[in-house]
Amino acid sequence: MRFRGKKTCGRIDYVVNAAGIALKHPGWAGAAFCPTPDFQRVVDVNVNGTFHVSREAARIMLDQEPILSEGNGRPLQRGSIINFGSIQGLVGITLSTAYTTTKHAVIGLTRTASEDYAARGLRINAICPGYTETPMTTKNPEVLRAMEERVATAVPMERMGKASEIADGVLCMAGGRSSFVTGSVLMVDGGYTCR
């Protein structure tokens, strides 16, 4: 895998690792009956994909000249990597073994890699969305109804998030105004994980 961004733009200031998939277990079988190929597919996309993109981005960013952050007197930085976790990176949800496992792994990868490169001006953080209105979550009426019922009882803000609200969190983590933030997990979940 090779990034083309540096060749096209001259440098890479931030990378957002947002790819991810989820597969529910068939029926009400639970973790003991999660098919191995399904589990491996979710691991390959959510963990291995995040690792490979982060690794390639870090190699480029560590090799480029640091730039000044926004604001007076802030230290030089080489870049920012934002990995997508999920509320399921902190809590378990039934019939979702593979997805929950991978989102815990993304948080672990983020925290470990951030320590590796913090002193060299590379920041690595995670953003963990909660229940969010997207084409994937709203296309199936049964799934949408189940989400709305869950949100009504489990999310203090009593609504799903909007994709633009998740994007605002990404912009916050990517920008120079968060120059002293690394290894952090930003929960954008309407308060779901505060309970």
What SS3 state is found at 175?
A: coil
Q: Which residue in the block uniquely carries the two structure tokens 């929950």?
A: 100
Active-site residue, from 6, 7, 14, 103: 103
103 as an active site residue: the answer is yes
Q: Which residue in the block uniquely carries the two structure tokens 């979710």?
A: 42
99 as an active site residue: the answer is yes
d(CA 101, CA 56): 23
Q: Which helix (H) or strand (E) holds 35?
A: none
**DSSP letters along 40-89, please?**
HHHHIIIIIHHHHHHHHHHHHHHHSPPEEPSSTTPPEE-EEEEEE--GGG
Active-site residue, from 6, 7, 24, 99: 99
* Cβ atoms 81, 14 nearer than 8 A: yes
* Cβ atoms 123, 178 nearer than 8 A: yes
Residues labelled catalytic: 99, 103
